[in-house]
Amino acid sequence: MIKIGILGDIGSGKSIVAKSFGYPVFNADNEVVKIYKKNKICFIKLKKLLPKYIKTFPIDKTELTSAILSNKNNIKKITKVVHPIVRKKLNLFLLKNKKRKLVILDIPLLLENKIKIKDTILVFVEAKKSDILKRLSKRKSFNNRILKRLKEIQLPLDYKKRKSRYVIKNYHTKKFVRKSVKNLLKKIL
């Protein structure tokens, strides 16, 4: 099985690129949303760590936002609880898809959390700052202060780009991105 890890800035279009491959995608952001909605053990652990902020189940995003904005160390506490659960879900995904020729790993903190699985081909998604800001401003949950906190826990983009074997430029249309992905697949397969 070939594993492709998608890297890039927040709002660069990693998920769009991941879907363009046409193979099974593990989307860590979607898994985190499910964890907050359904995982009572995660809720209990977070409530114990952050009782001033985490009060309701399913976990309310506004409570998480308040916790993150009040103290920059809270994001580290949250990730210490959530990421082991995400890692288990990733392992289940890989097991379920072990006979597939290729899988895509859309995991924003792939390198930061040392989730990089051996022999994963890294692909960096590059986008213009103006396009990133447009995409982010369309998100309901967009908050500049949260964005700043998230960037604090991420490795520099130039480092991620250097670590990547390939770069896909998400400067143009979805059609252009699909064509770039198709060309990349020819090289990989």
Instruction: Locate the DSSP E strands across 39-96.
Output: none
User: Percentage of the chain with pLDDT > 70?
Assistant: 97
- Under a CB-based contact definition with an 8 Å cutoff, are residues 153 and 109 in contact? yes
> Of 49, 123, 122, which Cα lies nearest the Cα of 82?
49
pLDDT: is 108 or 143 the higher one?
108
> Of 9, 189, 21, 11, which Cα lies nearest the Cα of 105?
21
- Under a CB-based contact definition with an 8 Å cutoff, are residues 115 and 157 in contact? no
Looking at residue 119, its pLDDT comes to 85
Q: Which fold does the domain 2-188 belong to in CATH? A: Rossmann fold (3.40.50)
pLDDT at 116 over 70: no
Read off φ and ψ for residue 163, nearest 5 degrees: -75, -20
Instruction: Locate the DSSP E strands across the chain.
Output: 2-8, 25-27, 102-106, 120-126, 166-169
Cβ atoms within 10 A of the Cβ of 122, count? 21
Query: pTM of the prediction?
Result: 0.90
pLDDT: is 56 or 115 the higher one?
56
pLDDT in tens, 128-182: 988 888 888 887 767 778 888 888 888 999 999 999 999 999 987 788 899 999 9
Q: Are strands 120-126 and 25-27 parallel, antiparallel or unpaired?
A: unpaired
Looking at residue 179, its pLDDT comes to 92
39-53, 114-128, 160-174, range with the lowest pLDDT: 114-128
The whole-angstrom separation of Cα 109 and Cα 84 is 13
pLDDT tier for residue 188 given thresholds of 50, 70 and 90: very high
Cβ atoms within 10 A of the Cβ of 82, count? 21
Mean pLDDT of the chain: 91
- Under a CB-based contact definition with an 8 Å cutoff, are residues 9 and 32 in contact? no
pLDDT tier for residue 64 given thresholds of 50, 70 and 90: very high
Mean pLDDT of 9-29: 94
Looking at residue 99, its pLDDT comes to 96
pLDDT at 25 over 80: yes
Could you tell me the residue ranges of all domains in the chain?
Answer: 2-188
Element (H, E) at 67: helix 61-70
Residue with tokens 């660069």: 12
In DSSP terms, 141 is beta-bridged to none
